[in-house]
Structure 1
């Protein structure tokens, strides 16, 4: 991401969809794709952009139509519409990196599998997906440099745990802490520009680390130029104070990629969280939305009776978090697609 845009508006979702209209203009899209293709393909960039302009536009338009239909649909079919909306948007994203997509029929597969016939004692959170070697999803992992996911089996509960807007719902449903909110100091000392933040001291016990050991642990997951350093001022019992130092950013609020570290994540309002449970295998949040929606789409397509029992039964323990996920994903996934396409982070704030 190149920079952050904070946009104040009455209705964030309405504003997001209005920004997608930019991608319905052939001149805009041709110039847009040419910029992506120029470095890797040189003089052929304009040719490839011309060839893919309409394909890109129709992927975007189709994605919007799926989401529009999902907005007014019953929950019995909503996940399927949202999933195919995601697929259409991601095909457009892939086109920005690969002008030859689809090169062959195998890349048109989903790229993930799950057990189609569910067990009689089925539990949504314990269901899992397996990432295939070929198909749409493996191409997405390449964009995020997350090819380590290929061949892995991933449980839905793990995917739910990394979505920051689901933090409260996750804890109410599973009685576990998944994410810790960061308390960031807004004070800036221009003589020594670092971001000071606070975490619960419980993280040290959770990872069996000392304060200094925890700082070393965090720095192993850095993805950019920033690093975490010791803060010299003592803190009250129960919390720890750390500093984030970046050679080019005065404060993390200026960083479109947040802390540039796999263990930290942001919600769509720009609030930061520490991933309390995900310490080893990084899963980009956008891929978590996709994989969860894939399972939900499979349920409502192939296991209609079971799906109805899950979302309408008074005895279902996970109905609440599924409803929450669908509402949040409808709002956040298009936002993340905009971020990817423009290579900028958009934070929409209400007046």
Structure 2
């Protein structure tokens, strides 16, 4: 049977008649004033953001690898703007929220390595606005993230860390019957007992305490748990499994959706302004950076549209 592409599924959200009703329900749920008027105003911008995103992503599919980061970054930005309109009917209320909201070194140092590079979050802009309205993350300004940290948020490329860095970065878990089953090795990795780990998850992530045996720790996720809202777990779109970061320092990391934005931002900047380094890497394959970047681009072009579809479908079902 032919699999319906994510963009065909997103076509349901490209009808202004449907979108207006969808947004009105969302605004009423959030107790916005004049939800009918706001949903009418935002139905066309919402549809146009989705359509523009689709064109960027479809263009990236047939574009040469060196220019894909720019197309994917702007495509993701358009998807984010559509998602924001479901929560913030006044977007963009000011021009400050239109900025990318991220900064990086404009000139790369000699012996530059992509995985060691970092980005810094700014007070205003699309990143902070999305983090606040979609994930309830506040005060993210001045936070810094290395590309290595961000790539570890993407479980589909964990095998690259095992092969190239000799490092296990994820524990595989099982999610069935609304229960999460975690290997006891995870607790040992965090220097906790299984009971202490359950307390930690309950306090920090609202994961209801379950029980533990010799091999498995069981807990219960909150009602809003999904591939899009799964912290501290990360969703592997290729296997359908949830994984846990192997390092305790990574448990409170960014939602994966936001990690993709930061990675694409930096890659798009490199593609535009660091042409010499970029093409040396693309043509010579001289660093492990190449392997991580290519795999990430393969994953993000499929996963981010899927994340956007999941987000919208969950809102639709709850509405």
Matched, 1:208 2:180: no
* Partner SS for 1:343: helix
**Cα offset, 1:18, TM superposition:** 0.4
1:234-249 alignment runs, 5 A limit: 235=214, 240-245=215-220
CA distance 1:141–1:246, change in 2 (3 Å): closer
**Alignment correspondent of 2:169:** 178
Pairwise CA RMSD: 2.5
Quickly say closer, same or farther: Cα 1:110–1:76, change in 2 above 3 A. same
**Which one of 245, 267, 271 corresponds to residue 275 of structure 1?**
245
CA distance change for structure 1 residues 41 and 215 in 2, over 3 Å: closer, same or farther?
closer
Q: Report the alpha carbon displacement of residue 176 of structure 1 after superposing the two structures with TM.
A: 1.4
Q: Is it true that 1:227 corresponds to 2:208 in the alignment?
A: yes
Cα gap change, 1:243/1:40 in structure 2, threshold over 3 Å: closer, same or farther? closer
The equivalences for 1:1-351 within 5 A come to 10-11=2-3, 14-41=4-31, 44-142=34-132, 143-183=134-174, 195=179, 197-199=181-183, 201=185, 203-223=186-206, 226-231=207-212, 233=213, 235=214, 240-245=215-220, 256-257=225-226, 262-268=231-237, 269-277=239-247, 278-279=249-250, 281-343=252-314
TM-score (norm 2): 0.90
Instruction: Judging by fraction of residues, say which structure has more helix.
Output: 2
1:162 is displaced (CA, Å) by: 1.4
CA deviation after TM superposition for structure 1 residue 247, in Å: 9.1
Contact 1:230 1:243 in 2 (8 A): yes
User: Corresponding residue for 1:4?
Assistant: none
Q: Structure 1 pair 275/344, CA: closer, same or farther in 2 (3 Å)?
A: farther
Cα drift, residue 148 of structure 1: 4.2
Structure 2, unaligned runs of 5 or more: none
* Alpha-carbon separation, structure 1, partners of 2:149 and 2:306: 22
Q: Which has the larger radius of gyration?
A: 1
SS at match of 1:274: strand
3-state SS in 1 of match to 2:86: helix
If the length of structure 1 is used for normalisation, what is the TM-score? 0.82
Q: How many equivalent pairs are there?
A: 314
CA distance in 2, matches of 1:148, 1:155: 19
